[in-house]
Chains A and B, each alone.
Chain A
């Protein structure tokens, strides 16, 4: 398979599908319907960590109108949400709570790491008390750089996530983690150690980058 091709087996030849569409016949698959339904109603979890949260709130308001993407329903409970927007600085004090909330969300669940702090620690990277990126503990789907990112950037992340959801397959080797029986469903919650969080990262989702000098 080439780079441009979709990674799952297509039931209908795309060109035939377009041709049929021109004749007024629309064909689809259960997988496409399912993905269309899910990507059109992503429910984010209602929690903000720092200044990025203000931009997130602005995104939901009338000017930027997140409702266009079917994602205006911010749920105050992880049981009802399927998207976690890590909007802001994750301190080491807060990290266990964030990871626990992620664990308590129902599958399928997605994560957008919003802003420099959430993706890398940002301006506080050299500090002793800030986690250097939430992707050390939970799998992040979309990273947004910026300090803070503008609402347009968050909308871009939403569209990227929707594209990602749209391309997920229900069966086969490339199916996402939550559909795989053998893939883990639990992500260990770190604890406060003597000097740092223990463990410092989850090796299943993040590997320590090798510095080549």
Chain B
């Protein structure tokens, strides 16, 4: 068996441990420093959620109304679809039948969404 040092990956391993030490040594030193000199003094105000100095009210895990799904659909149709339509149009002549069919299915799905939103009256200006 050839010695480990002759392996082409040996220098990489050395570099890896060097990099690891480079990252971990300052962290360890900082921990040691804090442990030796700086006594931790946590309290309720210090550990509170930071809200620009104000006391936070309520929970951050609020739920959005499910009624917003219509906006998500409209966004998909008019924004995300355009992103796909442009490369589709550019590469149209070079596409295979399968790729063209897949793209048409995708467009059809979104047109379905448009029809659904239209029926819901989302497109009517009130």
Contact = CB atoms under 8 A, between A and B. Distances in A.
A103 B47 CA distance: 9
Contacts of B57: none
Given A179-B38, A179-B39, A103 B52 contact: no
Interface string B83-123: 00000000000000000000000000000000000000000
Interface in B21-68: 37-39, 41-46, 48, 50, 52-55
A79 B50 contact: yes
Contact of A77 (B42, B44, B50): B50
A152 B54 CA distance: 32
A107 B43 contact: no
Contact of A103 (B37, B39, B45): B45
Contact of B46 (A98, A104, A171, A181): A104
A19 interface: no
A131 B55 CA distance: 20
A55 B45 CA distance: 30
Contacts of B37: 170-171, 179
Contact of B38 (A97, A107, A186, A189): A107
Contacts of B44: 186
Contacts of B45: 100, 103-104, 186, 189
Interface residues of B, number: 15
Contacts, number: 45
Interface in A151-178: 170-171, 178
Q: How large is the interface on A (under 10, 10 to 19, 20 to 34, 35 or more residues)?
A: 20 to 34
A171 B36 CA distance: 10
| Secondary structure class of chain B's binding surface, majority of residues | loop
Nearest to A170: B37
Contacts of A171: 37
A61 to B, nearest CB: 24
A180 B40 CA distance: 10
Contacts of B38: 107, 178-179
B54 A185 contact: no
B45 to A, nearest CB: 4
B39 A101 contact: no
B52 A104 contact: no
A178 B50 CA distance: 21
A185 B50 contact: no
Given A107-B38, A171-B37, 19 more contacts: A79-B50, A97-B53, A97-B54, A98-B53, A100-B53, A101-B52, A101-B53, A103-B43, A103-B45, A103-B46, A104-B53, A178-B41, A179-B37, A179-B39, A184-B41, A185-B41, A186-B44, A186-B46, A189-B45
Interface of A: 77-79, 96-98, 100-101, 103-104, 107, 170-171, 178-181, 184-186, 189
